[in-house]
Amino acid sequence: MSSHAQPSIETLIPALISLFDQAGDNDPEIQKPAEAKLHDLERASGFFVSLAMIFTNPECGLATRMAAVLKFKNGLPDMLARFVFVV
């Protein structure tokens, strides 16, 4: 995220669920902006915690939970690289 305020986890989770639904749409006019917004949110504070809360919540739909797991798995190396220093 750029100069905007960081979203709270309480607002991030519903936003992510909605974006995962949109990113799974067959219409590229809906899919592409959602994917771009998901990418923008990757550096938001609480992003990975929110993903974990989504994919462990049985009340979320299976497609949404799977999308959250994949986003978590694929983003993990980048997240860890921010905290690990090569000696």
For residue range 63-87, list pLDDT tens digits in order: 999 999 999 999 988 888 877 765 5
Q: What mean pLDDT comes out for the span 32-41?
A: 95
pTM over 0.95: no
For residues 69 and 55, the answer to whether their CB atoms sit within 8 Å is yes
Grade residue 27 by pLDDT with cuts at 50, 70 and 90.
very high
Token pair, residue 57, equals 């919540």
Give percent of the chain above pLDDT 70: 91
Helices and strands of the chain, counted as H and E runs: 4, 0
Q: What is the pLDDT of residue 8?
A: 84
For residues 23 and 34, the answer to whether their CB atoms sit within 8 Å is yes
